[in-house]
Chains A and B, each alone.
Chain A
């Protein structure tokens, strides 16, 4: 059995998306006290308020992190499983946990198992070569630590059905920082923010939780989309609307949220419902507003909250009004 020299205590963390959560977890394991302040994570993710992926990676962050703190972070991709897996095992033997990206369709403990191809990050913490079983920890979607068969792991590590996924193994090469306590007091290099709109409370002093927006809207469109799909399927003119409905069905949850405005606009065109088209505009505006609020929030964390707090509050009030309007119109949209 190859395992970490000291075990990894895992704790549930759904404040950030899975890659960030896993990477922060590994950094904490290495002894970084506040990794969220020195480590922006998950290259390739764009800010998207609907999806809730919020991270800021200032240009030049990676070399600075390496130079100042000895932190090393690099995404590694392999077109062949064996070479990549050998590296993961080599890291384990040297005492390093490894964050890997998987297709959750093949993870037996995960809700997407055999239903939905979606990317998900795990931490590999051990390997039993005799039993060909891999020890993994999932800390963001759920708290789960256990073994899965190597063959199953191999399937999960093959990302070809995911966007950017033409690889058979992807891992994040994270090396421990120098044991220089200065890194915890160092310059801010990046910021990782919580994922859900509703979980922002307390991050910036003076922003009361009741001002936060987002969860109401998220619930509204989650329940609205199935109705809209059904309506498209039933459209007596058939054809394009039904095709659109089939395309809805092919989108995963994150994609549906991300493309919500576009879905509304397209459905409005195909079903001849002007209200849907007008709503699409409103939802674009709401998403823009969320984007501004989150970016202000991010800036406040990076630059010091005092100056921005009242401005964020004012903005949040506007966003909340817009959200209420968008949700209300959604509820009335399908006669």
Chain B
């Protein structure tokens, strides 16, 4: 998996892991499907050429021109650049209702640990599971037109075991949940926060 390093943060580039298309341009509005055929307007998403900072954490956001730009949780296993990490930071959203999924944290040595990753509904303003708003999107792109809306992608952080090396994540099968970006945080001081 590709990654970009910034201070103590490891911003993962998830292009090869993405399995769904959420962002579209007005001229190709039917090329994606985020929720019931609706998509997110690419021109209102954060630019992919510089990190998006949320809660003091940088994220490598997907490029809307990628054929797939988000990762739906479908029981897959993510191989991560191995290392001791203190925290995993996610940007994502649920396309139906607030929902949580089990995430198996694959460490070595030793057995995996289980954490819960939850995201709030992208069309609501109520944060669940300790989510914080990552950024707002003012439009919903339907198959026929753009509608004024107040949409959100959400931030959630998960604590990790820094005494062991994290080498992967086993994701639950919860297809309502979409991950747009994932950053790992190394222990120690330094780096922007």
Query: Is A295 on the interface with B (CB-CB < 8 A)?
Result: yes
Residues 62-83 (chain B) with a chain A CB within 8 angstroms? 75
Q: Is the CB of B123 within 8 A of A58?
A: yes
- Nearest Cβ in chain B — how far from A70, in angstroms? 16
Q: Is the CB of B99 within 8 A of A303?
A: no
One of A10-18, A173-181, A244-252, A308-316 at the interface: A308-316
A56-B97, A60-B142 given; A299·B176 CB < 8 A: yes
A60-B38, A187-B37 given; A292·B151 CB < 8 A: no
- Which residues of B are found within 8 Å of A299, using beta-carbon distances? 95-96, 175-176
Question: How many chain B residues touch A (Cβ–Cβ < 8 Å)?
Answer: 28
Q: Is the CB of B147 within 8 A of A59?
A: yes
Q: Is the CB of A295 within 8 A of B97?
A: yes
- Which residues of A are found within 8 Å of B75, using beta-carbon distances? 311
Identify the interface centre among A63, A292, A302: most chain B CB within 10 Å of its CB.
A292
- Of all chain B residues, the one with the shortest Cβ separation from A296 is B175
- Of all chain B residues, the one with the shortest Cβ separation from A57 is B123
Q: Is the CB of A291 within 8 A of B38?
A: no
Q: For the complex, give the distance between the alpha carbons of A311 and B173 in Å.
A: 8
Complex partner residue of B174 from A56, A64, A292, A303, CB under 8 angstroms: A292
Q: For the complex, give the distance between the alpha carbons of A188 and B36 in Å.
A: 7
- Is the contact region of chain B dominated by helix, strand, or loop, or is it mixed? strand
Query: Is B35 on the interface with A (CB-CB < 8 A)?
Result: yes
Query: Is B101 on the interface with A (CB-CB < 8 A)?
Result: yes
Q: Is the CB of B173 within 8 A of A295?
A: no
Query: Is A298 on the interface with B (CB-CB < 8 A)?
Result: yes
Residues 150-172 (chain A) with a chain B CB within 8 angstroms? none
Q: For the complex, give the distance between the alpha carbons of A150 and B37 in Å.
A: 46
Which size class do A's interface residues fall under? Answer: 20 to 34
Complex partner residue of B123 from A59, A288, A314, CB under 8 angstroms: A59
A59-B140, A63-B147, A64-B147 given; A298·B175 CB < 8 A: no
Q: Is the CB of B143 within 8 A of A187?
A: yes
Query: Is A47 on the interface with B (CB-CB < 8 A)?
Result: yes
- Which residues of A are found within 8 Å of B6, using beta-carbon distances? none
Complex interface bits, A284-302 against B, C-beta within 8 A gives 1, otherwise 0:
0000100110011011001
A59-B140, A302-B36 given; A292·B99 CB < 8 A: yes
- Which residues of B are found within 8 Å of A189, using beta-carbon distances? 36
Q: Is the CB of A58 within 8 A of B173?
A: no
A295-B99, A299-B175 given; A60·B143 CB < 8 A: no
- Which residues of B are found within 8 Å of A288, using beta-carbon distances? 100, 116
Identify the interface centre among B94, B98, B99: most chain A CB within 10 Å of its CB.
B99
Query: Is B115 on the interface with A (CB-CB < 8 A)?
Result: no
Q: Is the CB of B37 within 8 A of A291?
A: no
- Of all chain B residues, the one with the shortest Cβ separation from A64 is B142
Query: Is B1 on the interface with A (CB-CB < 8 A)?
Result: no
Q: Is the CB of B174 within 8 A of A58?
A: no
Q: For the complex, give the distance between the alpha carbons of A187 and B37 in Å.
A: 9
Q: Is the CB of B147 within 8 A of A60?
A: yes
- Which residues of B are found within 8 Å of A58, using beta-carbon distances? 35-36, 38, 123
Identify the interface centre among A58, A59, A187, A189: most chain B CB within 10 Å of its CB.
A59
- Which residues of A are found within 8 Å of B37, using beta-carbon distances? 187-188
- Nearest Cβ in chain A — how far from B159, in angstroms? 18
- Of all chain A residues, the one with the shortest Cβ separation from B147 is A60
In order of increasing CB-CB distance, the 9 nearest A-B pairs are A59-B123, A60-B147, A47-B97, A60-B140, A295-B176, A59-B149, A295-B96, A302-B36, A58-B36
Known A56-B97, A59-B123, A311-B75; 9 more pairs at CB < 8 Å: A47-B98, A56-B96, A58-B36, A58-B38, A60-B140, A291-B97, A291-B100, A292-B99, A292-B100
| 6 contacting pairs across A/B (C-beta < 8 A) | A56-B97, A58-B36, A60-B142, A64-B142, A296-B176, A302-B36
